[in-house]
Every structure is written in structure tokens, then in C-alpha cells.
Amino acid sequence: MSTSDATAEAAQARERDVLEELPRNDAPIVPQSTISGRALVAVVAIMTFLASLTTGAVMLVRAAANDWQSEVAREVTIQVRPAADRDIEADIAKAAAVARAASGVAEVRPYSKEEGARLLEPWLGTGLPLDDLPVPRIVVVRIASGASPDLAQLRQTLGEQVPAASLDDHRSFVDRMRAMSGAMLAGGISVLFLVLIATVLSVTFATRAAMATNRPVIEVLHLIGAKDSFIAGQFQRHFLLLGLKGGLIGGGSALALFALAELASGWFAGAAGDQLAALFGSFSIGVLGYVAVLVQVGLIAYITATTSRRIVARTIAAVH
Amino acid sequence: MVRFEHVGLRYGLGAEVLRDLTFRVDPHSFQFLTGPSGAGKTSLLRLLFLAQRPTRGLISLFGHDIATLSADALATLRRRIGIVFQDFRLLDHMTTYENVALPLRVIGQPEESYREEVVELLKWVGLGDRISALPAVLSGGEKQRAAIARAVIARPQLLLADEPTGNVDPNLAQRLLRLFVELNKSGTSVIIATHDIALMDQFDARRLVLHEGRMHVYE
């Protein structure tokens, strides 16, 4: 290395050192830790939490309603009435055989006399001599998953071969249940819609409040020659991050709560667990629920960003 | 550089606050803008730094009719104008250095290209030891000098100052005036809006006098 090279390098190093001691633009263009900014994050977090809970609840109701319907629809019952001139055991065996021969049937299980008595215990009490009563016997027919057997044909065959038997496909019960779960789902979606509107409004107003404190910044940037797109971009980026932060806190808390509830539902054994399972299924909001919550988080962040951009444009217009 | 032809300005449906203004500001010129309170000085400055559009008449800046320019073109034009606001308008979350460097930062100039220059200017206006201070801890005079440094850092062709000596003692007022004169000598046209007759008497310059919305020019 020549002497002149070494001198030049030393000069550059000195220059670097001097530059290192100089101040830097550490502050962002848009003030970061303001009270209104923190309030906005809190509002976004709370509203996203509530909206996510509502979304999750609607998903649970939807999944539970589907489970109830498919559970009931996968089963039909054959009732065999006792008749004076007929052997009821033979009729039951015949009805079971007819059901087994039908296509799309997964399992046929005739209930014994004792099992039938146990079904009646909640209404008639124990120890009643059921032999003296004309109590019908039942045969439970489980439909294979995905199959749609010809129930009309099965009903007709039963009528021809076992006159004392009748087929109950639970149609009216399923229809009532469908109406009830449909009403619940519609109610849930209405509540979700209202919560989403409230979320959008409160996030918009909180963003406006946070932007009001930034008016002097916008004016100064504008008057020193910053282009409108530059100013809008700075604020949009800042408020997008605030919205995402609040949304992830709120949405994340709601998802953690659902995950915890799903976990906790497994801890309840016995009757309580069965009851919970009957009401809420697996207590899981499913992939669709998680996706819906994440979409909400993104939507709310988008609203904060676009609201801030709109207010920047309005503020700049007001400067003129 | 600046040409006003029959310019009028009214706010809403009120009476005209500026009436039929016709005047020019030449390159490298120095002038005071004066007149009693309420005569329209601040309104005229707002027209000059493009924060206000006239109700009538023509304003031409740097050879462009401002009525025909887009928002982006107006922003580009504003970069050729330095403004010292009466209330300083420093950004509270930024240090003195960051406030002064802001005009260069918003036009996307790399920081390395202006760091030394900003520090040098701050030293020149007597703020060398307040580089990292926030506006909240600066005195009125220090804020005034920081505002002036911010206005001149991008070497504007036109400097507008609204009562730049209003918040400082006479000694500092003298120093600031000398600063404006130096800038003018280096090629910047200067318009200083002031009430301070003593200040104007210290420097023989053109006077634009506003009275009841009309302008009288004393060369």
C-alpha cells in the first residue's frame, strides 16, 4: 500500500468517525407514542375481541346445528305395536330383517323389552309391569354415512310384510330443529353484523380522534413541500401498524379463549361433558372460524389505514 | 420571481381582505411587508406560500401560473420557498436537528448527504449545543432560530418570514436580520413581514405596505 493510499484511507476513517458522532434522524415523521395512538390500539383491540367472540359464537352455533341435524337424520326408528293375534318377537325379527335388506343401512338394532322399559322409566317410573301395557317396541336403524336410502320403499315393504310396524324418519323433528337452528344462526349473524358495524364506527372515530392530534404535523409537512402522497403514505403506514397491533391483540385473545375452551371441554367427563358436547359439539370454531377472525383483524387494520389516509387528504384540502 | 396581478382574497362571503394587489418580487431582492394589524399581511403570506388560493386575479410564482398547477407541482414549487412561521411550527416529537433536516428528508435526500450541513447551519445560528434538544426545552429565541434554519436549509429561492423578530430581544433581532441579509446576498429573495419600524429603519430596503387590504409599494 502506498503512502497516499494510507493517507486517503485514514482521512476516510476520520470522516467516518466524525459522521458517527453526528446526530441522526431517529424520530419517525409521524409521532409514535401518543396517548391518542395508545387509545386507538385499545379501542381496536377491544372491538376486535368482541367481534371475534361473536364470529366464533356464530361458527359454534352453525357447527352444532349441523351436527344435531345430521345426527338425527342418520337414524330412523321402526315401531312395532303389539297386536292380539300376532307374535311381537316374530314381527320385530321380521322388521329388522326387512331393514337390514334395505340399501344404505349401516346397523339395525332391535331394542329388547328391558331396554324399551328403561326408555320409559323417566315418564312411568320403575317397577311397572309393562307386560300388561300395549307398549310398542322399537328397532333403531342407523343410516350409513353419506347414504340416502329409499325410506318410502322401506316404509312400503314394512307395511306389506309387518302390518303392525311403522317407520318414523323423524322428519317433523328434523324440520323443527332445522327451523330452530336456522333462527339461531340468523340471530347470530344479525348480532355479528351489528357488532361489525359498531366496530367499524368506533375504529373510524378513534382513528379520527388520533389523527386530530396530528393536524399540525400534516400542515407543516405540506407547507415545507412534502407531496400529498408522501404524507398520506406516512400516516397510512403508521395507522395500519396501529390497527394491526390492536387487531392482533384483540383477535389473538379471542382465538386463545376459543382454544382454551376447546381444551377445557375435554376436561369435563360424564354427564356434564355429554351435555356440553350435545350443545356445542367439539367446541371448536374450525378452520373457517380462525380464518374469519384473521380476516376481521386485517379488515380492521385496513379501516384504520384508509381512514387516516382520507383524513390526511381532508386536512390538506382544509389548509388551502 | 413573484408576480401578482389584480389579486383579491375574501374568506367565505365576507368582504375582501386583500383588494386588487398588483406587484412583483424580483430575484435577489429584499423587502419588508408591513402594515397595521388586520391589514392582511398574514393572508398575503399565505397566498405567497401557496397555503391559500386567491378569489380573483393571477399569481405567478417562478414563472408558473399557480392556478394551472397540479397538487404535486405545487408541492415541488413549495420546495423553492422557505417559510418562517410566527409560531415557529416546530414538530414537538423531533429534535432540533430533525426539525431542521425535515425539508430535505421529505424530498427523499439521503441523510448522509446533509448531516454535516445541518449541523453546520445549527452552529451558525447559535444552536450548536441544542442539536439534540426537543422544542419543549428550547427558549423562544432558540425556537425562532431553529425555525429559520429549517426555512433556509434547502437553499430556497424565496424566503418568507412572518414576524421573525417578534419573540426575541433587540440584540437577537439584529443578529437574525443580519442572517436574512446574508441569505439575500447569497441569492435568496427575502420578504419579511413585520410591525417593527425600528427594525425596518436599520436596513434600507423596499417596503410593501398593506393598508385596508390595498398595497402601497415604497421602493
**Phi and psi dihedrals of B30, rounded to 5?**
-135, 130
d(CA A247, CA A245): 5
A19 in Cβ contact with B116 (< 8 Å): yes
Cell of A246: 390492536
**According to the model, what pLDDT value does residue A282 have?**
61
- Say if residue A259 is exposed, middle or buried (CB neighbours under 10 Å; 0-12, 13-18, 19+): middle
Closest-CA residue of B relative to A313 is B71
* Exposure string for B28-47, b = 16+ CB within 10 A, e = fewer: ebbbbbbbeeebbbbbbbbb
For residue A308, the surrounding DSSP H or E stretch is: helix A286-319
Cell of A320: 388551502
**Phi and psi dihedrals of B187, rounded to 5?**
115, 0
d(CA A124, CA A114): 14
**According to the model, what pLDDT value does residue A213 have?**
87
- Cβ–Cβ of B115/A223 closer than 8 Å? no
d(CA A104, CA A96): 14
Domain ranges for chain B, please list them.
2-91+155-218
DSSP string, A95-155: HHHHHHHSTTEEEEEEPPHHHHHHHHHHHH-SS--GGGS---EEEEEEEPTT----HHHHH
pLDDT at B83 over 90: yes
Using DSSP, state whether B39 is helix, strand or coil.
Answer: coil
The upper half-sphere exposure of residue B218, i.e. CA atoms within 13 Å in the direction of its Cβ, equals 10
Nearest to A121, CA basis, from A111, A112, A130: A130
Q: Looking at beta carbons, which residues of chain A come within 8 Å of B49?
A: 223
Q: Looking at beta carbons, which residues of chain B come within 8 Å of A226?
A: 75, 106-107
Q: Looking at beta carbons, which residues of chain A come within 8 Å of B53?
A: 320
* Exposure string for B191-208, b = 16+ CB within 10 A, e = fewer: bbbbebeebbeeeebbeb
- Cβ–Cβ of B94/A220 closer than 8 Å? no
Cα distance from A4 to chain B (closest Cα, Å)?
Answer: 25
Using DSSP, state whether B93 is helix, strand or coil.
Answer: coil
- Cβ–Cβ of A224/B92 closer than 8 Å? no
- Cβ–Cβ of B131/A23 closer than 8 Å? yes
**According to the model, what pLDDT value does residue A68 have?**
74
CA B16 distance to own-chain centroid: 23
**According to the model, what pLDDT value does residue A64 have?**
79
Q: Which CATH superfamily is domain B2-91+155-218 in?
A: P-loop containing nucleotide triphosphate hydrolases (3.40.50.300)
Question: A76-108: per-residue pLDDT in tens?
Answer: 899 998 887 888 888 899 999 998 888 888 899
Cell of A173: 323433528
Question: A137-174: per-residue pLDDT in tens?
Answer: 899 998 887 777 888 888 899 888 888 888 888 777 77
- The mean predicted confidence, pLDDT, of chain B is 91
Q: What is the dihedral of CA A268, A274, A276, A281, to 10 degrees?
A: 120
Q: Residues with Cβ < 8 Å from B199, sequence gap 6 or more?
A: B165, B173, B177
Cell of A41: 390500539
Judged by average pLDDT, the poorest of A169-183, B38-52, B56-70, B176-190 is A169-183
Domain ranges for chain A, please list them.
31-70+175-319, 82-163
pLDDT in tens, chain A (320 residues): 455 676 676 666 555 555 556 788 888 999 887 888 899 999 999 999 999 998 888 888 888 777 777 777 788 899 998 887 888 888 899 999 998 888 888 899 998 888 887 887 777 777 767 677 788 889 999 888 777 788 888 889 988 888 888 888 877 777 887 888 788 889 888 988 898 888 888 888 888 888 888 889 999 999 999 999 999 999 989 999 999 999 999 999 999 998 888 887 767 656 566 666 665 556 677 888 889 889 989 988 898 888 888 888 888 887 66
Q: Looking at beta carbons, which residues of chain A come within 8 Å of B95?
A: 23, 26-27
Question: B5-47: per-residue pLDDT in tens?
Answer: 999 999 988 889 999 999 999 999 999 999 998 888 989 999 9
Whole-number Cα distances in Å, A237 to A27, A39, A70, A85, B218: 15, 18, 48, 86, 50
- Cβ–Cβ of B106/A228 closer than 8 Å? no
Cell of A72: 338425527
**According to the model, what pLDDT value does residue A2 have?**
55
ipTM computed for the complex? 0.89
**According to the model, what pLDDT value does residue A287 have?**
85
| Global confidence as pTM | 0.73
A98 in Cβ contact with A106 (< 8 Å): no
- Cβ–Cβ of B75/A26 closer than 8 Å? no
- Cβ–Cβ of A27/B51 closer than 8 Å? no
